[in-house]
Amino acid sequence: MVLNLKLNLKIEKYLPFIFFVAAAIGVVLAAFFKVFFIFSSLAFFTLVLAVVFLKSTKIVLSDICLFLAVVFSFAALSSCAYLKNIADFAGREEAFTLTVISLPRETPRYNLIQGDIKNISGIPVSCQAVLIDYTKSLEYLKRYKVAAKAGVIERNGRSRAYLWVTKNSKIVLMPQGVILPLSRAFNAYVLQKFKDNFHDGEARFLSSLFLGRYELLKKERQFFVDAGVSHVVLGQERQLSPFAF
């Protein structure tokens, strides 16, 4: 590899250092942007450009593209470490950073909640799971760090991830940012408008349909089941059960 500057400096002896720098940059990029396919595509594209410039005797451009190809290759390899599935953590207790994205469905022993998971013991992920919350303390549209045990149920060709949150689980309320409080306020505002402008039964139905407030449906729940439209009206609620397939 020759750096075609005015001094026409040969840099073969610096290659280990250059590759180390390229690898370091790639690892840092992967930590911020976990996009394996984009990095791999960029690595291939810059490598092709390096060959084209080399054949055109444009040595400087070829060296730059080759350096970028190494950077993107290491970024692609490093980003693979972040492509985790919740099944990789099944059977052991981990620290999950998640947002509660459904209202609790109460049972005598626990609440069933849908959670959006963003981090598992320091490893960034992006998946959803059913939370079996024995503490009954997790609230709608709030972000938590929860010690829980993960698992995956597979039945009839379908799989569903779930977390067990026991009464002894450590739960930490995380910073909420701006969006979550606004979403909770909007939810409460719309619910109140339904109550102010509709009869009780109509308000409960509209709240379940537009806000996902299925816990407000009481006697109406069986009516929808008997009418055969529970999959439309109560679809999200049914998904909350890890035992309903």
Per-residue model confidence as pLDDT tens digits over 36-90 = 778 888 888 998 998 888 888 888 888 888 889 989 888 887 776 665 677 778 8
On whether the CB atoms of residues 239 and 131 are closer than 8 A, the answer is no
Helix, strand, coil: what percent of the chain each, to 5? Answer: 50, 25, 25
| Token pair of 196 as six digits | 């102010």
Which fold is adopted by the domain 86-176? OB fold (Dihydrolipoamide Acetyltransferase, E2P) (2.40.50)
Which has more pLDDT, 4 or 58? 58
Instruction: DSSP for 180-197, please give it.
Output: HHHHHHHHHHHHHHHHHH
Q: Who's near 216: CB < 8 A, 6+ residues apart?
A: 203, 204, 207, 208
Q: What's the confidence (pLDDT) of residue 120?
A: 85
The 10s digit of each residue's pLDDT in 106-153 is 889 999 888 989 888 877 777 888 999 999 999 988 999 999 998 888
* CA gap 129, 49 in Å, rounded: 43
Whether the pLDDT of residue 239 is over 50: the answer is no
Q: Where are the domains of the chain?
A: 12-82, 86-176, 180-239
* CA gap 86, 194 in Å, rounded: 38
The 10s digit of each residue's pLDDT in 27-40 is 888 777 766 778 88
Q: What is the pTM for the complete model shown? A: 0.56
On whether the CB atoms of residues 145 and 161 are closer than 8 A, the answer is no
Q: What's the confidence (pLDDT) of residue 41?
A: 86
